[in-house]
Copies of this chain bind each other. A is one copy, B any other.
């Protein structure tokens, strides 16, 4: 939220898919999860995350459903089979990409 993460451009899908790999979660919790995993470095704005989740869902990589706790509504997202496949693919691509960057930039 406070610190935008421009470097993530193009890799945000991967980050969100990875954050969902261990089980369903709702948007706000994903932001926390990613902030924790990155030790505070990836501090995503809600306005960044929600549209990406919709895009991933409309692409068939996620499904969502509303859950209610008291009067509090949450939209839970979970990976589809295709989403899991895509995650594996993007992890591989990231690995490739970061190794290439090392070679190019070093």
Copies in the complex: 2
Interface residue A103 (Cβ < 8 Å from any Cβ of B): yes
Tell me the interface secondary structure of chain A in the complex: helix
Interface residue A18 (Cβ < 8 Å from any Cβ of B): yes
Give me 7 A-to-B residue pairs in the complex whose CB atoms sit less than 8 angstroms apart, sorted by A's number.
A6-B10, A7-B97, A15-B105, A34-B104, A41-B97, A94-B101, A94-B105
Given contacts A9-B10, A18-B105, A38-B100, 10 further A-B contacts (CB under 8 A): A8-B10, A11-B101, A15-B105, A18-B104, A37-B103, A37-B104, A38-B104, A41-B96, A42-B100, A91-B105
Chain A residues with CB under 8 Å of chain B are 6-11, 14-15, 18-19, 34, 37-39, 41-42, 91, 93-94, 96-98, 100-106
